[in-house]
Amino acid sequence: MTRNISVEGLDQIPIEKQRIELVERKCLGHPDSLADGIAESISRALSRSYLEECGSVLHHNTDQGEVVAGESLPKFGGGTITKPIYFLISGRATKTFNGINIPADAIAVEAARDYIKSILPTINMDRDVIVDCRMGKGSTDLQDVFRSCEGKVPRANDTSFGVGHAPFSEAESIVRGVAAFIDDTLRPKYPVIGQDCKIMCLRDGDAITLTIAMAFVDRYCSGIAEYIEQKNFLTEQIAAVAKQFTRRSVNVAINTADDLEVASVFLTVSGTSAEMGDDGSVGRGNRANGLITPNRPMSMEATSGKNPINHIGKIYNLLATQIAQDCVAKVDGIEEMYVRMLSQIGYPIDQPHVASAQILTKPGVNINSVKPDIEAIIDEWLEKTPTITEKVIRGELSTF
Amino acid sequence: MTRNISVEGLDQIPIEKQRIELVERKCLGHPDSLADGIAESISRALSRSYLEECGSVLHHNTDQGEVVAGESLPKFGGGTITKPIYFLISGRATKTFNGINIPADAIAVEAARDYIKSILPTINMDRDVIVDCRMGKGSTDLQDVFRSCEGKVPRANDTSFGVGHAPFSEAESIVRGVAAFIDDTLRPKYPVIGQDCKIMCLRDGDAITLTIAMAFVDRYCSGIAEYIEQKNFLTEQIAAVAKQFTRRSVNVAINTADDLEVASVFLTVSGTSAEMGDDGSVGRGNRANGLITPNRPMSMEATSGKNPINHIGKIYNLLATQIAQDCVAKVDGIEEMYVRMLSQIGYPIDQPHVASAQILTKPGVNINSVKPDIEAIIDEWLEKTPTITEKVIRGELSTF
Amino acid sequence: MTRNISVEGLDQIPIEKQRIELVERKCLGHPDSLADGIAESISRALSRSYLEECGSVLHHNTDQGEVVAGESLPKFGGGTITKPIYFLISGRATKTFNGINIPADAIAVEAARDYIKSILPTINMDRDVIVDCRMGKGSTDLQDVFRSCEGKVPRANDTSFGVGHAPFSEAESIVRGVAAFIDDTLRPKYPVIGQDCKIMCLRDGDAITLTIAMAFVDRYCSGIAEYIEQKNFLTEQIAAVAKQFTRRSVNVAINTADDLEVASVFLTVSGTSAEMGDDGSVGRGNRANGLITPNRPMSMEATSGKNPINHIGKIYNLLATQIAQDCVAKVDGIEEMYVRMLSQIGYPIDQPHVASAQILTKPGVNINSVKPDIEAIIDEWLEKTPTITEKVIRGELSTF
Amino acid sequence: MTRNISVEGLDQIPIEKQRIELVERKCLGHPDSLADGIAESISRALSRSYLEECGSVLHHNTDQGEVVAGESLPKFGGGTITKPIYFLISGRATKTFNGINIPADAIAVEAARDYIKSILPTINMDRDVIVDCRMGKGSTDLQDVFRSCEGKVPRANDTSFGVGHAPFSEAESIVRGVAAFIDDTLRPKYPVIGQDCKIMCLRDGDAITLTIAMAFVDRYCSGIAEYIEQKNFLTEQIAAVAKQFTRRSVNVAINTADDLEVASVFLTVSGTSAEMGDDGSVGRGNRANGLITPNRPMSMEATSGKNPINHIGKIYNLLATQIAQDCVAKVDGIEEMYVRMLSQIGYPIDQPHVASAQILTKPGVNINSVKPDIEAIIDEWLEKTPTITEKVIRGELSTF
């Protein structure tokens, strides 16, 4: 069956020429990202277990859950978490199938705790954390859907859509680059940097301001003097990296709400603000491409935690992003590209109601000259939609 | 101090001329909307109590919370909820201030239960519902911020932004119109219509498809024959209303996943899918204008439940929407208008880092001819930012 | 089959001649009694529902549960509960049986809320109370036991025992009489008396001291002067009633921990200390006869909440008490009587391993002269063991 | 001040000559004992922390808490816990004192998890266990009591009592001996023996029946044949040990509810029935001497978890037991001895309202000949009441 693929030209001011652009990323230790990461870990663990025990991924959606902040008394040199952070696992999962019992609750708790441990190495898992579980049972009807489609392309669970774009703008690249620099280079050397960083980039014309809220880990900082020193040092390091992405001016500011005179600073025991005041929820932070981009089309669907088989809110968001990036990489002449994919409930997921690409071509490039290649790439990706599922289960695709 | 207001022209394909447009609304009984509504009710109740007891609204953010689905056995003529729906209240609130105790937990539980009762009149509040509360204490630092600004314009709690647009497109108007028609006209007459409706509108060129997932209330429906009859009747009624908004073709489909032959339909005991499988979270549904509009810029911030004094994620989203609508109403020549407002943490909220309006003018209208009027309107709204707070507390502005 | 009934003489100092005797009763609003009452209400509601839906009482044990105290600010004239009291329902119940679904969780929540409402009329059920439920599923094996014994006498679920005694001593009669006087006569007239009274009676030789901890309801008391006046008045009233039961000296003291000078008194908003500091658990308060009697043999089993069909910890405690009272009523010459009944798991409950009665006869009465009558009464009660079940379900037998 | 000590003779049938005697012990892995052990661990951890941070033990009572059973699928060779066991910590503790913050919630969670880990080595702490905490704040009034008595003997928190007796009867000695044999000798060699054993001893005349419910750990048992073999072997071993305590006949039966033909046996994944059906509560199991003895006076107070400074329900139960044992050890001529200690709220705990000892002397021994020695021993123990507190905090006195 021919797929309904629509490629059309777009006539708008390119992102780089719009006056104001905003980009944000909540790094892994941010409460919303913790919620996302736990949700996705649980979905992966369940998927693996379903595959092992039943031969196919059964119905589940763990794209819910709540991080309820604890209370803490951070202190230079090392403070205390006084009230544990509470994590509620909700969502639903198939617990029995065809006579096989899947210990879904135990799997979920373990996956959540393992994830928290990996992201927050400073936390005492036996003291500072409560992981609770109120996960419901999966619905029979949807299980039927799954059962019926063995060997076939799964059918969409909902009428829903996904969006993606490429390439990344300068501001987007800066945020991604700085996030990676903090995570891969700085933190391994300077454990004072908590996992909870929120990076906000404002481009106002050609002036870029990078505002970073970065949780410092108190045990690695002896006092206000060292805090200031470290903050200054990190500001410089990050500015240098940010400048590699742009010729525009870049100004970096870390923890602008600090009041240094009274030593009121962003100091934490564990490196996350979830320890003392900030709750988090699944689907409230980064989109599937790792960014929050109000200048771009965004989907409100939580990508993390949804089942990777037939949940459009997950698959199409990931797929749309992959498609846009692939087109930009392989086809010359694309200035900007937006992909929107709309499913229809009950139909095979490789047959969307419409897969629509909007292309802003580079000067002098006609939309018709790139259209066939783009259509072919989209069709090819749709053909291999199930590979998205596999990549997700293997943890090769990030969802937030 | 002069405010930083930026008005610029926009050169893009108007929404009505884009090939694909998607608009969605989750009505009041949808699990995500329940979460939003509860969060906002709690914030309002707390605000009123703070005003009464302390003379000013104290720090709180209840923009968190989780609806964990119950289990039910719907049945034509009337079924049973077998496992209550669990509502978790989280977030934080000031519980003592200046020697005054505010019973924040009790207020929150009461506000939540009152709200649920008002939205889901079919539910047995003593049997089908568990409202739990793990709300934390408000942070002292932020209380200080509040205290210091008595009589002055509050200072932004964060570097964050809000977005809004006007006017509504046809698809947007249809979704809003149909939602209002269901809530105000149909349900009062036909109680079989549950509060949980999800309205999705797809415009593909000039073909509009309205897909509605509508929970039927089992006690008001005697059997599959009546269900079909009612569904057909409602489909006609809704189609007639939708057509009033457009000359395009409109196709309406209700509960497309029904399998009528085996009587597998969207039947519920209470009128919400939260009774048997669908969880909900604050901030995952409608944006501040009541819609989900992937073709438009959107903010990821949850508007509901945030404190209405200095939380940018709430105030600027509401303000940006008001501004855009006001400009379109008062200034001729605007085809489309997008407002983005960016705060800077610690600065007065009437002094945004930038308030940026992008205007797509009508054919023949020059941006410069409308600019002064628009700037004036924006400035005036910023001047009266605190009125947003008051309207929110009085419940005059919807947040989702 | 002949039942194993053992009746033997007892040679000990009668209770009234022992120097020290202690008796205690926690009235209905005491946190432990609230837990008991909720547990028993749930069991009754489930039993009725099982009978209606399935024709026989299915396996359940709800003899667990926790009352976690809230926080309050009592104030003469009327104060506030600031943090709701949290009730956790646990235990287990059969949720599906033979294709029939029993909404056990919903039934439990409703029964608990109804009970709280009835006992604590001063409480705002929508604001001051959280009823949560984590009840598990009943075990299949025990369901089998139930199924297999339809029409026959149920088999004991455990090797366990029950105890009972008669008649009540003077101290015991005083505690029971005073409790009834407070509940039936005083409180209806003086709503200032909270439901949470703890009555402790110490008899030291011929001196009886009655120490009562009585929660006053703040809205019905205008100030410390009225509090003192009411306390004095109630002390007199209660002393007068207590004296009707004895010729010994009686001293009554209410709320001995009060410090009247600083107005630190036992004042509550709702009439129960559960509102601000005292937790409660099932089975930690009164025994099946409504008393705590350290001078008498006692069973540690919680009578409340256990299933009334085959749970020895419930049935034999109730039965032993009934038997002892019946013997004392019908057979002359009994000074004191203790009944101990021991089951053996898997055997019919009307065939205990041993039903043992120890009799302290009145002066001049030989044990052999009363033995046959007592044996006959015990045998008769064992014969009609199932009537205990029926009475419990109809709420005719109090369990605490 | 002279203490009110009463020593009187007792004229009753010695326990060994009563026809029926019942004794029970719930070993460490029984759900009720788990609850007790966790409660006591938390109290110890808090006490140590209060001493370290504040110089004295502050108000707390953690004698509440609930074990809500999980679900499991035991299987010879090794099964799975499918739903984690849920532990709720409640009670209350002082969280701030004199400007010092004590992380009471974090301490409680850690103490609970550490204890569970130590008792249930087979359990996966990251998968099979949820430890939740809803502990309240300690009440100010009681803190005042503590503060005021620095350097002095603490004052009783309540009008309450404790009981104790000595020596242990044969049946009691057998239960204690067998429990110790299982814990110290058998389990270290045979890990198939779970921590959850319930030992019930019935002496009917000279016939002793020891009924043991013993959870087998599935991973250490290959199949039904090995189960039977092990059960038979353990039955023999235990019978041999039991016989060392008595010349009476002893019959031992393990897991009498097993149905070997259908392999329905007491098999568990973790060695505790809390994994699949049995809830537990603090204070519902063993008394302070480690036993449940319906033939002896018992206190209903939960000894575990209460604060060890001024909580009579804890201190007097422990003290009464110590006194009775010490008297029997040091004074000749005591056949049986019962100690009852009654406090009066607000008075120093070394000045009980009355400390009453009832003595059944050996044949030919006059009560007056032992009275002075016993009075002296009681007085001496009261003098050193605070040593009970110290021993409890150091973990030298078992409370269940």
Same structural domain, B228 and B368 = no
* Residue D148 burial (CB count, 10 A): 10
Using a CB-CB distance cutoff of 8 angstroms, which residues of chain B are in contact with residue C89?
A: none
Confidence of residue D141 (pLDDT cuts 50, 70, 90): low
Residue B257 lies in a domain: yes
Q: Is the pLDDT of residue B307 over 70?
A: yes
Using a CB-CB distance cutoff of 8 angstroms, which residues of chain A are in contact with residue B91?
A: 279
- Measure A198 CA to nearest chain D CA, in Å: 27
Q: Which of A8-17, D37-46, D134-143, D262-271 has the lowest mean pLDDT?
A: D134-143
Task: Quote the pLDDT of residue A141.
Answer: 52
Is B12–A13 a contact, with Cβ atoms under 8 angstroms apart? yes
Task: Work out the average pLDDT over A95-102.
Answer: 89
Q: Is the pLDDT of residue A106 over 90?
A: yes
- Bridge partners, residue C204, by sequence: C20, C207
Same structural domain, A190 and A258 = yes
Q: Which tokens in the block code for residue D208?
A: 């002793």
Report residue C230 CA to chain centroid gap. Answer: 28
Is B358–A6 a contact, with Cβ atoms under 8 angstroms apart? no
Using a CB-CB distance cutoff of 8 angstroms, which residues of chain C are in contact with residue B80?
A: 101, 103, 106
Residue D23 lies in a domain: no
Is C159–D22 a contact, with Cβ atoms under 8 angstroms apart? no
Using a CB-CB distance cutoff of 8 angstroms, which residues of chain B are in contact with residue C114?
A: 126
Task: Work out the average pLDDT over A100-109.
Answer: 96
Q: Which amino acid is at A72?
A: S
pLDDT, averaged across chain D? 93
Is B104–C84 a contact, with Cβ atoms under 8 angstroms apart? no
Contact yes or no for C291/C179 (Cβ under 8 A): no
Task: Quote the pLDDT of residue A140.
Answer: 44
Using a CB-CB distance cutoff of 8 angstroms, which residues of chain C are in contact with residue B99?
A: none
CA distances from C190 to C73, C182, C193, C233, D333 (A): 22, 10, 6, 11, 56
Task: Quote the pLDDT of residue C148.
Answer: 46
Mutate to test the interface with C, among D60, D298, D310 (most CBs of C within 10 A): D298
- Measure A104 CA to nearest chain D CA, in Å: 7
C-alpha dihedral (C301, C306, C311, C312), degrees to nearest 10: 30
Task: Work out the average pLDDT over A83-87.
Answer: 98
Q: Pick the residue from chain C with its C-alpha nearest to B100.
A: C73
Cross-chain CB nearest to A66 (options B90, B257, B264): B90
Establish whether this prediction's ipTM goes over 0.90. yes
Task: Quote the pLDDT of residue C98.
Answer: 82
Question: How is C342-395 classified by DSSP, letter by letter?
Answer: E--TTSBTTS-SEEEEEEEEPTT--HHHHHHHHHHHHHHHHHTHHHHHHHHHTT
Confidence of residue D24 (pLDDT cuts 50, 70, 90): very high
User: How many domains are contained in chain A?
Assistant: 3
What span, in angstroms and rounded, lies between the C-alpha atoms of A327 and A238?
31
End-to-end CA distance of chain D: 33
Is A83–D106 a contact, with Cβ atoms under 8 angstroms apart? yes
Residue D25 lies in a domain: no
Residue D257 lies in a domain: yes
Pairing mode, strands D354-361 and D5-9 = parallel
Q: Pick the residue from chain D with its C-alpha nearest to A82.
A: D103
Q: Pick the residue from chain B with its C-alpha nearest to A141.
A: B264
**Chain B residues interacting with chain C (CB cutoff of 8 angstroms):** 71, 73, 80-84, 86, 95, 101-107, 109-110, 113-114, 124-128, 130-133
What span, in angstroms and rounded, lies between the C-alpha atoms of C104 and C112?
12
Contact yes or no for D105/B134 (Cβ under 8 A): no
Q: Is the pLDDT of residue A145 over 50?
A: no
| Residue-wise pLDDT tens digits, C73-122 | 999 999 999 999 999 999 999 999 888 899 999 999 999 999 999 999 99
**Chain C residues interacting with chain B (CB cutoff of 8 angstroms):** 71, 73, 80-84, 86, 95, 101-107, 109-110, 113-114, 124-128, 130-133
| Residue-wise pLDDT tens digits, B177-236 | 999 999 999 999 999 999 999 999 999 999 999 999 999 999 999 999 999 999 999 999
Q: Which amino acid is at C389?
A: T
Residue A62 belongs to domain with CATH number: 3.30.300.10
What range defines the domain where residue A324 resides?
Answer: 5-16+159-169+284-394
| Residue-wise pLDDT tens digits, A209-261 | 999 999 999 999 999 999 999 999 999 999 999 999 999 999 999 998 898 88
* Secondary structure (3-state) at A168: coil
* Secondary structure (3-state) at A368: helix
Q: Residue length, chain D? A: 400
Q: Is the pLDDT of residue D148 over 70?
A: no
| Residue-wise pLDDT tens digits, B261-276 | 888 999 999 999 999 9
Is C12–D13 a contact, with Cβ atoms under 8 angstroms apart? yes
C189 Cβ contact list (under 8 Å, min separation 6): none
What span, in angstroms and rounded, lies between the C-alpha atoms of B283 and B296?
17
Same structural domain, C54 and C134 = yes
Task: Quote the pLDDT of residue C358.
Answer: 94
Cross-chain CB nearest to D279 (options C13, C64, C277): C64
- Measure D300 CA to nearest chain C CA, in Å: 6
Of the residues C150, C180, C198, the one at which a domain ends: C150
C:D CB pairs within 8 Å = 155
Same structural domain, A354 and A326 = yes
What span, in angstroms and rounded, lies between the C-alpha atoms of C271 and D35?
29
What span, in angstroms and rounded, lies between the C-alpha atoms of D36 and A259?
48
Is B92–A86 a contact, with Cβ atoms under 8 angstroms apart? no
Task: Quote the pLDDT of residue D346.
Answer: 83
Task: Quote the pLDDT of residue A150.
Answer: 58
C-alpha dihedral (C340, C343, C349, C354), degrees to nearest 10: -50
Q: Pick the residue from chain C with its C-alpha nearest to B105.
A: C83
Is D128–A106 a contact, with Cβ atoms under 8 angstroms apart? yes
H or E segment at B85?
strand B85-89
* Secondary structure (3-state) at B357: strand
Q: Is the pLDDT of residue B145 over 50?
A: no
- Measure B227 CA to nearest chain C CA, in Å: 24
What span, in angstroms and rounded, lies between the C-alpha atoms of D294 and D288?
14
Q: Is the pLDDT of residue D19 over 80?
A: yes
Is C113–B131 a contact, with Cβ atoms under 8 angstroms apart? no
Task: Work out the average pLDDT over B295-309.
Answer: 93
Task: Quote the pLDDT of residue B148.
Answer: 46
Is C159–D256 a contact, with Cβ atoms under 8 angstroms apart? yes
Residue B21 lies in a domain: no
H or E segment at B92?
strand B92-93
Mutate to test the interface with D, among A82, A85, A89 (most CBs of D within 10 A): A82
Is B128–C106 a contact, with Cβ atoms under 8 angstroms apart? yes
Mutate to test the interface with D, among C64, C87, C345, C360 (most CBs of D within 10 A): C64
What span, in angstroms and rounded, lies between the C-alpha atoms of B345 and B159?
5
Same structural domain, D277 and D289 = no
Residue B399 lies in a domain: no
- Measure C314 CA to nearest chain D CA, in Å: 14
Q: Is the pLDDT of residue B131 over 60?
A: yes
| Residue-wise pLDDT tens digits, C327-355 | 999 999 999 999 999 888 888 999 998 89
Contact yes or no for D27/D198 (Cβ under 8 A): yes
Same structural domain, A78 and A92 = yes
Residue C297 lies in a domain: yes
Residue B22 lies in a domain: no
Using a CB-CB distance cutoff of 8 angstroms, which residues of chain C are in contact with residue B114?
A: 126
Is A297–B294 a contact, with Cβ atoms under 8 angstroms apart? yes
Task: Quote the pLDDT of residue D344.
Answer: 82
Q: Is the pLDDT of residue D151 over 70?
A: no
Same structural domain, A274 and A342 = no
Same structural domain, A191 and A314 = no
H or E segment at C114?
helix C104-119
Confidence of residue D150 (pLDDT cuts 50, 70, 90): low
* Residue C257 burial (CB count, 10 A): 16
What span, in angstroms and rounded, lies between the C-alpha atoms of C69 and C268?
13
Mutate to test the interface with D, among A83, A95, A96 (most CBs of D within 10 A): A83
Output B149 or D353, whichever has higher pLDDT: D353
Using a CB-CB distance cutoff of 8 angstroms, which residues of chain B are in contact with residue C41?
A: none
Is B80–C73 a contact, with Cβ atoms under 8 angstroms apart? no
Q: Is the pLDDT of residue A196 over 90?
A: yes
Q: Residue length, chain C? A: 400
Using a CB-CB distance cutoff of 8 angstroms, which residues of chain D are in contact with residue C253?
A: none
Q: Pick the residue from chain A with its C-alpha nearest to D135.
A: A83
Mutate to test the interface with C, among B46, B97, B126 (most CBs of C within 10 A): B126
Instruction: Flag residues of chain C having pLDDT under 70.
Output: 1, 139-151
Among D144, D140, D65, D131, smallest CA distance to D306 is for D65
Using a CB-CB distance cutoff of 8 angstroms, which residues of chain B are in contact with residue C105?
A: 71, 82-84
Same structural domain, B42 and B143 = yes
Same structural domain, D113 and D262 = no
Q: Pick the residue from chain C with its C-alpha nearest to B71.
A: C103
Using a CB-CB distance cutoff of 8 angstroms, which residues of chain B are in contact with residue A86?
A: 134
**For a pLDDT cut of 70, what percent of chain D falls above it?**
96
Q: Pick the residue from chain A with its C-alpha nearest to B59.
A: A277
Of the residues A229, A258, A281, the one at which a domain ends: A281
Same structural domain, D364 and D377 = yes
Task: Quote the pLDDT of residue B140.
Answer: 44
User: Does the CA dihedral B345-B350-B354-B356 come out positive or negative?
Assistant: positive
Q: Pick the residue from chain B with its C-alpha nearest to A264.
A: B141
Same structural domain, C137 and C163 = no
Residue A192 belongs to domain with CATH number: 3.30.300.340
Is A106–D73 a contact, with Cβ atoms under 8 angstroms apart? no
